[in-house]
Chains A and B, each alone.
Chain A
Amino acid sequence: MKSKSNLEKVLESGHFAVTGELGPPACVDPEVIRRKAKYLKGNVDAVNVTDGQTAVVRMASWAACLLAKAEGLEMTVQMTCRDRNRIALQMDILGVAALGINNILCLTGDHQMFGNHPMAKGVYDLDSIQLIKMVKDMRDERKFQCGDEMEVEPRLFIGAAANPFADPFEFRVFRLANKVAAGADFIQTQIIFNVDKFARWMDAVREKGLHEKVQILAGVAPIKSVGAARYMQNKVPGMEVPETIIERLKGVPKEEVSKEGIKICVDIIRQVREIKGVAGIHLMAIGWEEAVHEIVESAGLLPRPQVS
């Protein structure tokens, strides 16, 4: 095993993995995290905590990870390059590993212009691929980015993101290959609504044999309303929501829309599961953690495996 991660064990033993996501509060209240943790516990193999998603100030990912870990969850810290240079990143990497957080998702980060402090200075000393490589060198070579050696290395399972829906489509798989070469152990994709396009991306992934080098978790999420679907379709860069999804939501009575959103999510899980090379799903029910159990259960993914 490369790491101390439960997620790594689940994936290595060939189980179809399920990861979840938890958005930390924009305040100090630890109860928010404990409440969300309850909905996730037993339903997923590991839980990501976002790191200032959309560049809005929220509780630090590592701190929220620690609170949720105390509730018995396996955690994945998300770490972005937006707010930290390589010195701060490495200090945080040492810290999270020492705290028993075993997975890390390496991201460049949402640009500060999207958040509530657009006047902040963006750091971007490294990009996501350089961050992946740095964590790998810390873990496998016991080396800091500068080349100095350390005594006890961070045994982290290294994750990265991939967006099959961004452009240029033909280059997306090459960039994934760069992430794998940099040291990514697992990939969590952008939320998939256009399964056909995702399947085409996976064809290219398999053509390069990348599915054998990295564990790919397909990103999925339930949609709560037609408005939310439209918002994702028009306002979220790099996300594709086909009109057929919106029509399905519109086709049911108003009080049934959120139920239909869950059904669509379950259908997508079933479809991506059939695609060769997909090792699991990453369920992003941010702000709708209550739905996680129903989705995972309906998709036939319960109980979660206990791997020792």
Chain B
Amino acid sequence: MIVGERKPFDEIKESVQGYEKLLIVGCGTCVSVCMAGGEKEVELLASQLRMTNKLEGRDVEIGEVTLQRQCDREYIEPIVEMARNYDAVLSMACGAGVQLMADMLEPMSVIPGLDTRFIGIAEEEGIWAERCRACGKCVLGEYAGICPIARCPKSILNGPCGGSQGGRCETDPNRDCAWALIYDRLNKQGKLDSICRIAPPKDFSTQDHPARQVNEDYLKAEPEETPVQ
């Protein structure tokens, strides 16, 4: 999932200053699962803002809605009319969702309520960890299912570096050395050979951005438009 973190309250408060009607829009997918921008978090933020506004003598109307996804037009469409009744939208989606909202609501101001962090997994309750950097050319098959690009701070493809100590990374005593994990698992698999060779420089052109993906088969399968009679 895409893991996000709610922006600090003061930063949000500052960014919505001056709007008299504010709509907070949650996103029901990734950021809901990581407890940053789902229905509950929208409710919490709305109450916080209402309370602060009351204390500081501001009259602001705050609306709340949570969509299933903000990265897909069909989920945004039903609220476009309603959203236009507000002065601004505070989107609690990841950066992709915020942008699609801003496109569809143009020229309205759409403000981000989260900082988008990474593609990751739920490590344990309340803890998420990065696993993928969307490099565009997956190498997990060579590294026993442990990504050195995402999980080594220097993205070393020929590791481990000299800072691997007791299975931990020199950059953070709480961080596993990805290469210690790779070594251990390949060892268990009897496949250490796969790191006893030189991994060539990675082709980073697969990471060019803005990236775009087209599914030709899907486009071809779409029914052709009926010709105008």
Query: Which positions in A face B, CB cutoff 8 Å?
Result: 81-82, 86, 108-109, 111, 113-114, 122, 124-130, 133-134, 145, 161-163, 166-168, 171, 174-175, 177-178, 181-182, 190, 237-238
Contact = CB atoms under 8 A, between A and B. Distances in A.
B143 interface: no
B196 A177 contact: yes
Interface of B: 153-167, 170-171, 177, 180, 183-184, 192, 195-201, 204
Given A129-B158, A174-B195, 12 more contacts: A111-B154, A124-B154, A125-B204, A127-B154, A127-B161, A133-B198, A166-B161, A166-B165, A171-B192, A177-B196, A181-B198, A190-B162
- Which secondary structure dominates where chain B touches chain A? loop
B154 A171 contact: no
B2 to A, nearest CB: 21
A88 B195 CA distance: 27
B63 to A, nearest CB: 37
Contacts of B199: 129-130
Given A145-B201, A178-B197, A167 B165 contact: yes
B70 to A, nearest CB: 28
Nearest to B172: A113
A25 to B, nearest CB: 25
A266 to B, nearest CB: 25
Nearest to B173: A237
A163 B162 contact: yes
7 contacts: A86-B201, A114-B171, A130-B157, A130-B158, A166-B164, A167-B160, A178-B158
Contact of B160 (A82, A161, A175): A175
Given A86-B201, A108-B156, A167 B171 contact: no
Contacts of A175: 158-160
B158 A127 contact: yes
Most B-side CB within 10 Å, residue of A124, A181, A182: A124
